[in-house]
Amino acid sequence: MSRFRFPSRGVLTPTATFAVLLATYLVGVFSFEHFGSAAVLRNLLVDNAFLGVAAAGTTVVIISGGIDLSVGSLMALSAVVVSALVGRYGWHPAPAMLVALGGGAAFGAAQGGLIRVLALPAFIVTLAGLFLARGLAFAIQAQSAAVDHPFIARTLGETLALELPLGPRGMSLPPTVPALLLVFAATWWLLRRTPFGRRVHAIGDDAEAAALMGVPVAATGVRVYALSGFLSALAGLFFLLYQQSGDPASCRGLELDAIAAVVIGGTLLRGGVGSVVGTFFGVMTLGLIQTLITFQGDLNSWWTRIAVGALMLAFLLGHAALDRLAERARRAA
């Protein structure tokens, strides 16, 4: 047996993602004059906060061996619920947001129950969830409506904003950015430091072995989807704060961006292996590619999609190569 120890995938791939992120950033800095400014980084975080939260939930689902396609629709639904409760029924936004978050978790748990207890395919259940949530969002509120409430505009928009002493006039960070970091830290903690996280990895890696080892597979799976539903709803609230309106047509296809970020972050779609840190880098890479293409000017927005697709392919090919290496090493052992 050789002494050389290949770094485990959990370490290797987030590092690779970070390298891609850094490379993209450096390309930007060397190509464009203002790319290196703090404002670019600020906007990167602000513009991608909602995607980040959604992708954190998707990471957990994918590590557990599942998939959740309902993310984008659920985001729109949660934003619309708050905007309707506040705008139409005169609620205070705080309880409205709690309702949206609870609803998101319940929606996710219901999907999880169908998948893990009644053994329906995750793909179809969350696909139906996608349609259902989107339809409900439109049923609640057919049009985009601005959310006009001092709690949202002032308390969340201004009072809680962080003033950073950067640049000539300082810079204000909306509360979604620290919240985003908090969500990632909490998800990381949950996955890496709690028994729940171990179970999530276990059922994603080998559900049968996990069951034989006494892991409650169904209960864990339901909680995973509930968590994803909760985080989708939270991402919807972030989007609401970002846009200051609830739009039932928003966030279409966002689940794909989230999955792409997770894949680029090095999480294996077959489950069991992955890291939410990698996902964070993945989200930032997606955002940076977008920024880069915006800066470029004559490159069109569709290059973003093509670049994301190519990047996903590259990471999947990398995983396939790693698999083959590992296989060869095992055969040689």
Q: In the range 83-142, which residues lie near another protein by CB under 8 A? A: 114, 117-121, 123-125, 127-132, 134-136, 138-139, 142
Binding mask 303-322 for another protein (x = CB under 8 A): xxxx-xxx-xx--xx--x--
The residue among 29 and 140 lying less far from another protein, judged by its C-beta, is 140
Query: Total residues contacting another protein (rule CB under 8 A)?
Result: 75
**Which positions ≥6 away from 229 have C-beta within 8 Å?**
57, 70, 74, 104, 105, 106, 107, 108, 109, 111
Nearest approach in angstroms of CB 123 to another protein is: 7
CA distance 116 to 68: 13
Instruction: Enter the DSSP assignment of 117.
Output: I
Nearest approach in angstroms of CB 306 to another protein is: 4
The residue among 96 and 133 lying less far from another protein, judged by its C-beta, is 133
Question: What is the four-CA torsion angle of 270, 271, 277, 280, rounded to 10 degrees?
Answer: 50
The residue among 170 and 195 lying less far from another protein, judged by its C-beta, is 195
Binding mask 47-66 for another protein (x = CB under 8 A): --------------------
Binding mask 261-300 for another protein (x = CB under 8 A): --x-----xx-xx--------------------------x
Q: In a 3-state reduction of DSSP, which class is residue 307?
A: helix
Q: Which two tokens stand for residue 228?
A: 């994803």
Nearest approach in angstroms of CB 255 to another protein is: 11
Is residue 274 within 8 Å of residue 266, measured between CB atoms?
yes
The residue among 133 and 241 lying less far from another protein, judged by its C-beta, is 133
Among 30, 74, 18, smallest CA distance to 292 is for 30
Site for another protein in 199-218 (CB under 8 A): 199, 201-202, 205-206, 208-216
Of positions 2, 3, 163, 333, contacts another protein by CB under 8 A: 333
Strands, DSSP E only, in the chain?
145-146, 162-164, 171-173, 245-246
The residue among 34 and 324 lying less far from another protein, judged by its C-beta, is 324
144 touching another protein, by CB under 8 A: no
Nearest approach in angstroms of CB 169 to another protein is: 35
Is residue 62 within 8 Å of residue 262, measured between CB atoms?
yes
**Which positions ≥6 away from 191 have C-beta within 8 Å?**
59, 60, 63, 197, 200, 201, 275, 276
Among 146, 147, 141, smallest CA distance to 248 is for 141
Length of the chain: 333
331 touching another protein, by CB under 8 A: yes
Task: Name the one range near another protein by CB under 8 A: 5-13, 43-51, 145-153, 159-167.
Answer: 5-13
193 touching another protein, by CB under 8 A: yes
